[in-house]
Amino acid sequence: MLLQNVRPNIVQAIRAYRVEDLMQAAQEAGHHFLYANLSSAQSKQDVLEDIAQSFLFPAHFGKNLDALHDCMTDLVHKSGAQPGFVVVLEQLPDNLRFDREAREQLLDVFRDAADYWADRKVQFRCFYSFQ
C-alpha cells in the first residue's frame, strides 16, 4: 500500500506520487481524500477560496489562515472520530501575489494540522506541488 511508504502526519512535496494513486490509497485506507487544484489561483485570497470550495467548507468560512486552521482541525474534530486524511494541494501559485512567504504560511497551517491530528493518533498526510 502506498501510504505505508509515507510517514504519517507530514506535509511534503508530491514529487513522484500521482494524484490518482494517492486518492486510491486514501480510499483503501478508509481515509478522507481532500483535493484542491489551485492552477487558476493567483493570490492568497484565491488560494483560500479555491481550497474552501474544493474541501466543501461551510459558508461561514472566514477565508483567512486562522479559519483554514479551524476547518482543518477543531471543526472536523468536533464532528466525530476521524479515520485519517490525505490532502493534495496541486499547483500552488508561484508569483509576486503569492510568494514564498505566503506559500510557507499556508503550508504551516497544514503542518499545524498534521501535528494536531498526530496528537489525536489520526494520520494526516498533505502533498503539494507548485505551478
In sequence order, what are the residues at sequence separation of 6 or more whose Cβ sits closer than 8 angstroms to the Cβ of residue 67? Answer: 61
pTM above 0.85, yes or no: yes
According to the model, what pLDDT value does residue 1 have?
Answer: 67
Mean pLDDT value of segment 15-37: 95
The phi and psi torsions of 91 (rounded to 5 degrees) equal: 70, 45
Mean pLDDT value of segment 82-100: 95
User: In which residue are the cell numbers 482541525 written?
Assistant: 73
According to the model, what pLDDT value does residue 4 have?
Answer: 80
* H or E stretch at 85: strand 85-92
Evaluate if residue 98 carries a pLDDT over 70.
yes
